[in-house]
Chain A
């Protein structure tokens, strides 16, 4: 595949789908049809590349694959660009889509349209790109393509007569999908003689080769040895190698208009590359940046503290290492009265936070305490300036600001008709504002609600699942900031303010949340040898109180015959549990208690 294709024979596209609707399976079929590897040599070559990967320890996921297919006797180069599936990464999805002229909207013909189908379709339709609906899994006996055609028309306003049907599993209809890609998706437009402009749509870190930048050439061309500049981050590099994914990385002389591939340019840190940035030539006139670049926005923040203060530097190193592979992670040092020195960390969303934390604990083996996640708030100060805060403790005194704004997201909820009532109730309890209701089919609807993001991060998804017997799915668009009557709810343990436990919440909910948090703390904090007072306050006013009674007795009644090891092990466990606790004054608080503020139950 050393040859270069002229733009009119190139098609750049993505597959977008709800999870499990068959994206990976369909991509595998495409690879079989148009993969660079000759089927006869396939095994051998695949093994080769695996050996190579093993040797070098690379685990570079091909975020883009070049395929050569024949349609009506003509060869075409198809670049299939992968997109992350989850809403947390919708900015990345958007950028991947921006590298394409079209997308296959893959829908499970048995399950029908789901929330991620809608969210992804919206992202694609907003970009003015060709969207080809494809009903997958038509081999399933309970596939119902007719009904799904109806859903497509009702919810996404797409013409169902344009939809294709296939089975990624059996291969049925897949050729027709390939043909549609060639016939319906327009070839890339661009000016080959203009100065270089390329879109950075993804980047990965490789231990041996540094950062690998995934790009799509819009105008001009990029070659080995070129001096290039990233417009957004304002850095310059000399290109060491450009190439394509076949799916393994293969070096090429140059990448021209419409082509998709990678660049290696001695970039050390993933943080130096921003997805969505524009790559141009370092010499000559300054090119216009491509549209839509912005800094990744962290929508969920939490404090991460080492259990042992002495692990602080280890934690810093661990976060640095994590950031090597995850440029969306942000962190800054923070101190807390209760927890000491730690970091305030920002994530794209809850899923991103969970993934990052899991890796942090697994890879670093540091015991950490995590505080409850919070969304960012925008505070309008009296001097007219707006300030973003990422921790409830950072909220200035009430006399210093005139307004607090919180992130609100348009949320799409897809559910069976009989659970509308329950879901409407859930959304209104969560301070939602109803937007619209659309019927997908006689049995399913899509509700759109504007919901404060802070309300979604408190077990909303679980509640949705239980109100819809598991059938409901949800997704949301990018947030906007909106003013709300928010207050800081302070929590006091044994008379001392516990900054790590305070939260920002709506004034009307402060009483209820305060009581719920205290109840939860009452359960999570073990009894001590003295009684512990728990209080919740807004401003100077105590709005709720509870107490934890003093320990009545703590002695093993029966000490087994001679099995002393066993008894010691039980105490060892108690000791380890104590070790992982944090002290708030004289009170030892287990890690779980710091998540008590997530509790919404009374």
Chain B
């Protein structure tokens, strides 16, 4: 076993035991941001003066309707920018959420996303007091021209200060970073990553810059005003990131996520392991007892529905066995170390993965893109050479499972 692989396994191992298969997670979405970043296609909106109190009331009302007594094993407050809420409102949200769901007693991990420009002492304190024990800071880049190109509203210094503040109050801190800005010097990327690691974070998410439909950046690219980095250079940065993180003791436990041993994000692991979760808030998604659902995205529409006493659901589907199996593979194969536990995939979908994927699976294994672990608890996972082509692999699996 190579060193990097051993690390991957180590990073995955510890929290795995802390997640119960029959447990549930809770996601809470807060859609407002100071401004909208150019690459971003989340359900997030530049705040334009609407009442944040009213929105939080709606979120809590939905929580009362859909998550009362949930006792989640993990919580993730995401967005948007949760740290955009003023400290008192943030405190109230957390406190009431606890009253409704009992998360403080049940959850081993409570993460909140924050952006540097708004993550001040007061909010940090309110979050800690409210039960948050892990913070994820949107750093994205430490280069001024890049931050400007993305239309981020903070500087590199503010971002580093936010990380230090987070480290002071929270045991577990993540930094979100984006690489493959066109023309990015690999050395500079390495320096940025190293400065962040040096601050003592236990987790980094390193995403390759991507052009999602409908974003400002995609429009700029299509109009010829922004160029996408050469795919080869993107790939090289991906490899450099993997190697560098490994050197610093950070295992790649998911395509874009690296953590110290035991510091993998349990909440996200719940997604990747196809465990149940309830999503509350505008556009939030849920997976519960075999049903996927998603809420109305527009904050106004969401609030209106909740105020009218209605379920703010936009779409819901009860997935058929093949889809359930595919979803489990799609999510689980993102975890290069642990992969998909075949027995569990079979249990939730009712299909035998090997039989359902047929010859395609053998081909993918034959081509060295996927591998089966030996032993009784068999797992299917992407190999080092398969991981960068996961979408191609999944497309082929999808073609057999949902022809």
On A, residues with C-beta under 8 Å from B are 527, 529, 549, 551-565, 567-568, 571-572, 574-575, 578-579
Contacts and interface: CB of A to CB of B under 8 A. Distances in A.
B225 interface: no
A557 B256 contact: yes
B208 to A, nearest CB: 4
Contacts of B287: 562, 564
B388 A565 contact: no
B89 to A, nearest CB: 22
Given A563-B283, A568-B398, 8 more contacts: A551-B392, A552-B388, A555-B255, A555-B390, A555-B391, A558-B256, A559-B334, A571-B391
Contacts of B326: 568
Nearest to B317: A565
A575 B331 contact: no
Nearest to B272: A559
Query: Do most interface residues of chain A lie in helix, strand or loop, or is the interface mixed?
Result: loop
B285 A565 contact: yes
B137 interface: no
B389 A578 contact: no
A564 B330 contact: yes
B210 interface: yes
A563 B285 contact: yes
B175 to A, nearest CB: 15
Contacts of B11: none
Contact of A555 (B29, B271, B315, B389): B389
Instruction: Give the interface residue-count category, chain B.
Output: 35 or more
Interface stretch (B52-60, B123-131, B157-165, B228-236): B228-236
B284 A564 contact: no
A553 B78 contact: no
B82 interface: no
List the 4 shortest-distance A-B pairs measured between CB atoms, nearest first: A552-B231, A552-B235, A555-B390, A562-B285
A561 B78 contact: yes
Contacts of A568: 323, 326-327, 330, 398
A562 B317 contact: no
A562 B293 CA distance: 10
A558 B207 contact: yes
B346 interface: no
B330 A554 contact: no
Contacts of A578: 395, 399
B392 A529 contact: yes
B176 to A, nearest CB: 9
A563 B294 contact: yes
Instruction: Select the residue from A549, A551, A575 with max chain B CB neighbours within 10 A.
Output: A575
B395 A574 contact: yes
A549 B394 CA distance: 21
B234 A552 contact: yes
B250 interface: no
A557 B389 contact: no
B317 A552 contact: no
B286 interface: yes
A557 B399 contact: no
A562 B389 contact: no
A549 B232 CA distance: 10
A161 B315 CA distance: 72
B238 A571 contact: no
Contacts of B398: 568, 571-572, 575
Contact of B389 (A551, A559, A575): A551
B391 A574 contact: yes
Contacts of A565: 285, 292, 294, 315, 317
